[in-house]
A and B are shown apart, each in its own frame.
Chain A
Amino acid sequence: MRKAYYTVEERELTQAMKPPAHTKGPARWIKDNLFNTWYNVLLSCLALICIFFISKALLTWAFTEAKWGVIPANLQLFGVGAYPREQIWRVWSVIYILCVLVGLSAGMWGGLVFRFAVVLGGVWFIGALLPFELSTRGWFLGAVAITAAALFLGRGRTALRPWILGGWLLSFPLIMIVLRGFGENSVLTSNWGGLLLTLILAVVGIVVSFPLGVFLALCRQSNLPAIRWVSTAYIEMVRGVPLITILFMGNILIPIFMPGLDINQVLRMGLAITFFSAAYMAENVRGGLQGIPRGQHEAAQAIGLNYVQTMLFIVLPQALRSVIPAIVGQFIALFKDTSLVAIIGLIDLLGVARSVIANPDWFGLQAEVYLFAAIIYFVFSYSMSYGSQEIETALGVGEH
């Protein structure tokens, strides 16, 4: 029986006692979570029956009928598309550059970045263990070593953090140059493909559309009506139409509007994706800007900051912090949307999947190939949303 009041001794006693540990055992857990009421008993039984039949069908298919040989046979195609084999060192150089940066950042920041670096190193290590050609396994081992070395070097050197941020910014053009190359040995962008192309389009889209979106959002809040109208019209028009029409436009209209200017298809698609994504980004940022109280602007003006300073140091940091979930959501959407370039004729990850299926050697293996591509997309999208949740908790978004 519960008492209405406790004596001081009793209260101390109850406070000193820890809550009971997990002594319930699995049987009790099942009863509490699956069979606690009559309708839950019914639902659980139905769900178990469904799970049994679906997983039985799936597992039978996956282990007896599916011909998974198509995946290892085309792994390079999935990875880099038609990128020339003898130039593959360029891709590895890019991976190494990224490994150095990730390792150094992990050493300096720790926390989530550290965990990311460890997972990445683990992926390379597994790659080295798989039965690839000897040279490929060597490249993989090199990546493990470089990540580990950079991590060790960067450990605790917090003073160098600004340099690493600069390094990340610089790495972007550097990677493009390394991938493209110069002169006779250069690799045309039409040969870029597979996961490489998907990631390049996504990263270019994310990196460029973010500042563009912030700019558009600021324009939409501008005091000058002309600027406000133009940016509002742009944002609403782009958001009103599907991405695929923007891609078709980029493909057909850029040559009409810019005659004489030879822009290759990869760049055209990159531009179209960026301009499309910027409109959505602008709306997300605007949401954050509207949440900043007027007093913040006024206080900044009172201490003598001009417009640029107010925005850069006072308003945007607060506004962007509050819309991190929306922005990451937009990044994930952009990553998935890059798959639409396969309709235009680029050979990205999905494009490779389609071309492998169209190959008579691999006739009738749609399910295997699409499932493999889906898993790759899933891993990237899901890790992004996982990372976003971690950042949210770290920054305390939604708390006051």
Chain B
Amino acid sequence: MLGVILLLVILYTNMLKGLRGLGLTLNLDFLQDEAGFDISEGIPYEPSDVYLKAFWVGILNTLKVSIIGIVCATLLGLLFGIARLSSNWLIRTIATAYVECFRNVPLLLQILFWYTAVVGQLPRVRESIALFGGVFINNRGIYLPSPEPTAGLRIWLGFLGAGLLLAVILYVVRWRKLRQLDRPGFRAKWALPAFLIVALCGWFLAPSRPFTLDLPVLQGFNFRGGMRFSPEFSALLIALSVYTGAFIAEIVRSGIQSVVKGQREAARAIGLKESQTLRLIVLPQSIPIIVPPLTSQYLNLTKNSSLAVAIGFPDLVSVGNTMMTQTGQSIPVFAMIMVSYLVMSLTTSAAMNWYNRWINRVGR
């Protein structure tokens, strides 16, 4: 105990001495100074804004790439995790090759590879690769059509609300009926189609379509309109999704395999169909096993997004780094970075713990 206190005291006095040597004091006043550096993407920001605003842009950029990355990585992981259990030898082998190749190569190397060797080698703006008439890929980024809300959106939202109400009622009715019959079944069997039909009717009955597509159009030397993913963002997103997807695939595979064979056989013995076995027997038992390691993969992806600093995507760490070199206030900036990541980690774990409890309550 004494030793720990002594160590902290020594470190603290050393820090003060070291800071004095550099002519710095510990305070957060610098956050209200003008940042003076530009940030290439994110929410609207001017170099004349203060450091605090710049840091906020960095946080939002980290969140943006992490959230989209988590969605993509989960989809990839699910796809390849299930593919690894396929009865088809070819599919199984492809999935294994994917997992082993991307898991065993450093993420930073993969990010640099995607950035310089793939995204960086895309054709120039005038020779853009056009897909489906609305997607354009070139060395300035990936341009996608973006949905623009119109006046009809409100009416459609009204339809959606009514559909949701109808769906809830049908869900409860079906649930009660199933309970009465004491049989397993798909509870949303009536609710889901009903909701979809109402939503579709609303889409066509509204005076104008709820959304119009804002297509990117080549004007002069660049594309205007639509959404743009910068090359840095695209490379980072691809690398993070593919890398984390390989880990998630392994988690999904081992989670499904951990359900003992006897359970499947017993399910077949009592006459459940293949789909029912999966939904009622296998998944309820494997999801509680899958969720905890999945959470830590989500957190890893969020933390790994900090490698953006290597290709110049202005994430939290990258912006923080610029702030440090400009102001020399390394200790407060480090503290801010750490606190930001800790808040993200704790929020994600809390959400996933809640989900885990909910799953456990329903499943068992």
Which A residues contact B (CB, under 8 angstroms)? 33-34, 36-37, 40, 43-44, 47-48, 51, 224, 226-227, 230, 237, 240-245, 248-249, 252-253, 255-259, 332, 336-337, 339-340, 342-343, 350, 353-354, 357, 366-367, 370-371, 373-374, 377-378, 381-382, 385
Q: B76 near A: Cβ within 8 Å?
A: no
Are the C-beta atoms of B317 and A244 separated by less than 8 Å? Answer: yes
Are the C-beta atoms of B306 and A245 separated by less than 8 Å? Answer: yes
Q: B264 near A: Cβ within 8 Å?
A: no
Q: B15 near A: Cβ within 8 Å?
A: yes
Q: Which residues of A contact B87 (CB under 8 A)?
A: 33, 36-37, 40
Q: Which residues of B contact A249 (CB under 8 A)?
A: 334
Q: B22 near A: Cβ within 8 Å?
A: yes
Closest to B342 in A: A240
How many whole Å from A139's CB to the nearest CB in chain B?
A: 28
Distance of A381 Cα from B99 Cα, bound (Å): 13
Q: Given A237-B342, A366-B116, check contact A242 B317 (CB 8 Å).
A: yes
Are the C-beta atoms of A230 and B108 separated by less than 8 Å? Answer: no
Closest to A365 in B: B117
In the complex, how many residues of chain B place their beta carbon closer than 8 angstroms to a beta carbon of chain A?
51
How many whole Å from B297's CB to the nearest CB in chain A?
A: 12
Which among A44, A237, A241 is the interface contact of B303 at CB below 8 angstroms? A241
Are the C-beta atoms of B104 and A385 separated by less than 8 Å? Answer: yes
Which among B90, B121, B337 is the interface contact of A47 at CB below 8 angstroms? B90
Identify 16 new A-B residue pairs, CB closer than 8 A, beyond the known A340-B307, A350-B106, A353-B109: A51-B94, A230-B4, A240-B342, A240-B346, A242-B304, A244-B306, A245-B341, A343-B309, A350-B109, A354-B112, A366-B120, A366-B121, A367-B113, A370-B109, A370-B116, A378-B101
Q: B17 near A: Cβ within 8 Å?
A: yes
Are the C-beta atoms of B108 and A340 separated by less than 8 Å? Answer: yes
Are the C-beta atoms of B310 and A343 separated by less than 8 Å? Answer: yes
Q: Which residues of B contact A374 (CB under 8 A)?
A: 105, 109-110, 113
Are the C-beta atoms of B89 and A253 separated by less than 8 Å? Answer: no
Q: Given A230-B4, A332-B104, A374-B109, check contact A357 B331 (CB 8 Å).
A: no
Q: Which residues of B contact A252 (CB under 8 A)?
A: 324, 330
Q: B246 near A: Cβ within 8 Å?
A: no
Taking CB atoms and an 8 Å cut-off, the chain B residues in 307-359 that contact chain A are 307, 309-310, 317, 321, 324, 330-331, 334, 337-338, 341-342, 345-346
Q: B14 near A: Cβ within 8 Å?
A: yes
Which among B100, B121, B304 is the interface contact of A382 at CB below 8 angstroms? B100
Q: B283 near A: Cβ within 8 Å?
A: no
Which among A230, A342, A381 is the interface contact of B105 at CB below 8 angstroms? A381
Q: B91 near A: Cβ within 8 Å?
A: yes
Q: Given A242-B306, A245-B306, A377-B104, check contact A257 B18 (CB 8 Å).
A: yes
Which among A244, A248, A259 is the interface contact of B307 at CB below 8 angstroms? A244
Q: B107 near A: Cβ within 8 Å?
A: yes
Distance of A353 Cα from B100 Cα, bound (Å): 22
Q: Given A245-B334, A381-B104, check contact A259 B1 (CB 8 Å).
A: no
Q: Report 20 cross-chain contacts, Cβ distance below 8 Å, ordered by A residue.
A: A230-B4, A237-B338, A241-B341, A244-B317, A245-B337, A253-B331, A256-B19, A257-B14, A257-B18, A332-B104, A342-B310, A366-B120, A366-B121, A367-B113, A370-B117, A374-B105, A374-B109, A377-B106, A377-B109, A381-B104
Q: Which residues of B contact A354 (CB under 8 A)?
A: 112
Which among A34, A339, A367, A370 is the interface contact of B88 at CB below 8 angstroms? A34
Q: Which residues of B contact A350 (CB under 8 A)?
A: 106, 108-109, 112
Distance of A382 Cα from B108 Cα, bound (Å): 17
Q: Which residues of B contact A332 (CB under 8 A)?
A: 104
Which among A256, A258, A342, A385 is the interface contact of B22 at CB below 8 angstroms? A256
Closest to B1 in A: A226
Closest to B101 in A: A378
Q: Which residues of B contact A366 (CB under 8 A)?
A: 112-113, 116-117, 120-121
Distance of A226 Cα from B2 Cα, bound (Å): 10
Most buried by B among A47, A51, A240, A340: A240
How many whole Å from B81's CB to the nearest CB in chain A?
A: 16
Are the C-beta atoms of A256 and B309 separated by less than 8 Å? Answer: no
Distance of A255 Cα from B328 Cα, bound (Å): 13
Are the C-beta atoms of B4 and A226 separated by less than 8 Å? Answer: yes
Are the C-beta atoms of B90 and A44 separated by less than 8 Å? Answer: yes
Q: Which residues of A contact B331 (CB under 8 A)?
A: 253, 256
Taking CB atoms and an 8 Å cut-off, the chain B residues in 203-224 that contact chain A are none
Q: Given A240-B338, A242-B306, A245-B317, check contact A367 B104 (CB 8 Å).
A: no
Distance of A47 Cα from B88 Cα, bound (Å): 10
Q: Given A40-B87, A47-B91, A245-B306, check contact A253 B330 (CB 8 Å).
A: yes
How many whole Å from B247's CB to the nearest CB in chain A?
A: 10
Q: B21 near A: Cβ within 8 Å?
A: yes
Q: B11 near A: Cβ within 8 Å?
A: yes
Q: Which residues of B contact A51 (CB under 8 A)?
A: 90, 94
Q: Which residues of B contact A353 (CB under 8 A)?
A: 109, 112
- Across the A-B interface, the 6 shortest Cβ-Cβ residue pairs: A381-B104, A33-B89, A256-B18, A242-B303, A242-B306, A367-B117
Q: Which residues of B contact A259 (CB under 8 A)?
A: 14, 17-18, 21
Distance of A47 Cα from B1 Cα, bound (Å): 62
Q: Which residues of B contact A241 (CB under 8 A)?
A: 303, 337-338, 341-342
Closest to A224 in B: B1
Closest to A381 in B: B104
How many whole Å from A345's CB to the nearest CB in chain B?
A: 12
Are the C-beta atoms of B4 and A339 separated by less than 8 Å? Answer: no
Distance of A163 Cα from B76 Cα, bound (Å): 49
Distance of A336 Cα from B304 Cα, bound (Å): 13
Are the C-beta atoms of B112 and A382 separated by less than 8 Å? Answer: no
Most buried by B among A33, A241, A259: A241
Most buried by B among A256, A354, A381: A256
Which among A47, A244, A253, A382 is the interface contact of B309 at CB below 8 angstroms? A244
Distance of A286 Cα from B156 Cα, bound (Å): 54
Q: Given A240-B338, A240-B345, check contact A255 B310 (CB 8 Å).
A: no
How many whole Å from B228's CB to the nearest CB in chain A?
A: 23
Q: Given A241-B342, A256-B15, A256-B331, check contact A48 B104 (CB 8 Å).
A: no
Are the C-beta atoms of B337 and A339 separated by less than 8 Å? Answer: no
Q: Given A44-B90, A242-B317, A357-B116, check contact A377 B105 (CB 8 Å).
A: yes
Most buried by A among B11, B19, B103, B107: B103
Distance of A169 Cα from B1 Cα, bound (Å): 32
How many whole Å from A229's CB to the nearest CB in chain B?
A: 9
Q: Which residues of A contact B15 (CB under 8 A)?
A: 256-257
Q: Given A43-B88, A257-B15, A373-B109, check contact A382 B104 (CB 8 Å).
A: yes
Are the C-beta atoms of B112 and A370 separated by less than 8 Å? Answer: yes
Distance of A259 Cα from B20 Cα, bound (Å): 11
Distance of A259 Cα from B317 Cα, bound (Å): 25
